[in-house]
Structure 1
Amino acid sequence: MLFLAPFLGWLCSGILKYILNFVKYGAKARSMVGNGGFPSTHTTVAVSTTAAIGFSSGIDSGLFALGVAFSFIIIIDATGIRKALGEHAKNLNHINSSSNVVFKTHRESQGHTRTEVLGGVGLGVIVGYMTSLFL
């Protein structure tokens, strides 16, 4: 049943992200779901899997250690590289808006704030725990 943890993490995060965006943006919520936003889906998927392994196999298992390392890589990527990508997109869109030539508009919401990542960690732990209960 552990194989369900990442899928359930993705599903729960996507549903929560859509609901929060619907409350905040209304009909535009559908276009807001994707990279970026609260909670971090990437973080939720990684942490839910890691937490499910930890709750079922123990935190001293090799698989749990591997999951923690993998989760850290995802979190660093979400708050660092992908956040920088979003800043680049914002700058490119600004250049596009002041240009006579029309270029593709780039999605600016790519990375995550610490709060969005912490939301993904919290949701991931909850989903991982719930998944481990049904083993």
Structure 2
Amino acid sequence: MDIAYLVTPITTWLVVGPIKFLITSVRQRRLAFDLVGNGGFPSNHSAVVTSMATLIALREGIDHPAFGVAVTLAFIVMVDANSLRQHVGRQAAAINRLAAGAAPKPLRERMGHTLVEIGGGICTGIAVGFAINALAAAL
């Protein structure tokens, strides 16, 4: 197995995490350790699946069945990030309002991603996929 297929998703996750933390911290005007996780710009999940689809396209070609599987998985992840997880966040907000003061810790309300955040993840994933491919080819 080519190690690039293992390194790519891990590297993408490690690249996107600090970017998301820095952007969130700037927006909040404080170190936003408590906001690290689901939601925010760019989308980690979108970046990871896109980086793998990009690497497969570059290595195997877009006519390879693995690319079709990767694109299908990416589509499912992005739809989930945009719709289902946003609905979960809305439910958390409603529960927090109902349980105001009764719950020891409120539920996290920021769960899903906007289309812009998903787009940022796609762009980051493509960039990391190209970078890993170029680096692996150079070695």
Name the TM-score, length of structure 2 as normaliser.
0.90
Question: What SS does structure 2 have at the residue aligned with 1:6?
Answer: helix
Contact 1:2–1:132 (CA under 8 A) maintained in structure 2: no
Question: What SS does structure 2 have at the residue aligned with 1:35?
Answer: coil
Please name the residue that 1:35 is paired with.
38
Question: What SS does structure 2 have at the residue aligned with 1:134?
Answer: helix
Please name the residue that 2:50 is paired with.
47
CA offsets, 1:85-108, max 9 Å, x none? 0110111111122x6x33531001
Contact 1:2–1:131 (CA under 8 A) maintained in structure 2: no
Please name the residue that 2:81 is paired with.
78
The CA RMSD over aligned residues, in Å, is 1.3
CA offsets, 1:14-46, max 9 Å, x none? 011011012122334111110011111011111
- Residue correspondence of structure 1 range 1-135 to structure 2 within 5 A: 1-97=4-100, 101-135=102-136
Name the amino acid aligned to 2:134: L
> 1:102, 1:11 → 2: CA distance?
33
Sort the Cα spacing of 1:37 and 1:18 in 2 relative to 1 into closer, same or farther, 3 A. same
Name the amino acid aligned to 1:27: R
> 2:124, 2:114 → 1: CA distance?
16
CA offsets, 1:60-103, max 9 Å, x none? 11111110000001001101111110110111111122x6x335
> 1:91, 1:62 → 2: CA distance?
43
> 1:122, 1:53 → 2: CA distance?
16
Name the amino acid aligned to 2:61: G
> 1:122, 1:128 → 2: CA distance?
10
Unaligned residue ranges in structure 2 (runs of 5+): none
Report how many aligned residue pairs link the two structures: 133
